[in-house]
Amino acid sequence: MSTVVMSAVWPLQGMTPAQKAVLVSLADQANDEGVCWPSVASIAMRTCLSERAVQTAIKWLVQARVVALRQREGRSTIYQVTPAAYAPPQEMHPRKSRTPAANAPTPADAAPPPPQQVHPTPADAAPRTVKEPSFEPSGNRKGAAPRPAAGAASDLPAGKSVEELNKDELWAAGKSLLLQSGIPKAQCGSFVGKLVKDFGADVVIGAVRAAVVARPADAATYLVGACQTAAGQRPKALGKQSALEQHNFDVARRLAAQEA
């Protein structure tokens, strides 16, 4: 290996990695005059290239004058590495701009850019129509339609009055009132069960019987207050609506006592 030739080869630019690998392999095996005679197969093994790629690279290096070769019949080719004579072929470095010939036709104008798709602006969302109820939930509004009379078909079995209801029918009527006042169906049974646990079945039955007569808007509050009153407890402070319903309960209880 010639250090002089190797040091002159490494700085050379303007070639592909395969061409540079073949040139370095030749320089690595050359003497101080740059002469060596490796086979194509050995160069391919050293550079990890195919023999065809090695032959193509050698052809280019010869055209660039950085390698000269002399073929010997029946023997390996002699190569001489000449870094000082390196002159890359012109086709490897085309000019960035060319001057057109005098008779060259005028190039056509650049095509206009393709039209951009413009999506139409979506229309405003249609206004939502909210249908307000034509009646208020509370039965104390002026001009409101009167509540159904006690023993209405929605709460009581056909042909029976409140006094004729048995225990199971009263439970069903009470749960119906709770459902109508907005308590979910799944909670109606547990609500009545808690009243029975706190005040006893007899007290709750009496409260339910009175509620079926009074038909309060807030059946839950009414039943709790009625049970507390029947059990001798002092009910919590009631609002205007609850106080009116409590009054109705007391009236209904007195009427039931007089009829008894």
Q: Which domains does the chain have, with CATH numbers?
A: 3-92 (1.10.10.10), 162-259 (no CATH)
Give SS3 for 80: strand
Tell me the torsion sign for CA atoms 61, 67, 71, 76: negative
Give the dihedral of Cα atoms 2, 8, 14, 19; nearest 10 deg: 0
pLDDT over 90 (residue 192): no
Q: Are strands 67-70 and 35-36 parallel, antiparallel or unpaired?
A: unpaired
Which range, of 47-56, 125-134, 191-200, averages the lowest pLDDT? Answer: 125-134
Tell me the torsion sign for CA atoms 193, 199, 201, 205: negative
| CB atoms near residue 159 (< 10 Å) | 8
Q: In the predicted model, what is the mean pLDDT of residues 89-98? A: 59
- Do the beta carbons of residue 86 and residue 66 sit within 8 Å? yes
pLDDT band at 152 (very low <50, low <70, confident <90, very high): very low
Which range, of 59-63, 66-70, 146-150, 191-195, averages the lowest pLDDT? Answer: 146-150
Amino acid (1-letter code) at residue 201: A
Q: In the predicted model, what is the mean pLDDT of residues 183-195? A: 82
pLDDT over 90 (residue 18): yes
- Residue 115 DSSP class: P
State the DSSP H helix or E strand holding residue 242, giving kind and residue range, or none if neither: helix 240-259
More confident residue, 233 or 32: 32
Nearest CA to 42 out of 82, 9, 67, 79 is that of 79
Question: How much of the chain, in percent, has pLDDT values that exceed 70?
Answer: 67
Whole-prediction pTM value? 0.36
Nearest CA to 242 out of 142, 138, 161, 167 is that of 138
Nearest CA to 39 out of 58, 20, 62 is that of 58
More confident residue, 48 or 3: 48
pLDDT over 60 (residue 137): no
pLDDT of amino acid 135: 44
Q: In the predicted model, what is the mean pLDDT of residues 51-65? A: 95
More confident residue, 218 or 139: 218
Amino acid (1-letter code) at residue 86: Y
| CB atoms near residue 234 (< 10 Å) | 7
More confident residue, 187 or 110: 187
For the stretch 122-127, contacts whose Cβ atoms lie closer than 8 Å and that sit 24 or more positions apart, written own/partner, are none
Which range, of 146-155, 219-228, 236-245, averages the lowest pLDDT? Answer: 146-155
Per-residue CA distances from 251 to 10, 177, 195, 247, 259 (Å): 116, 19, 22, 6, 12
- Residue 97 DSSP class: S
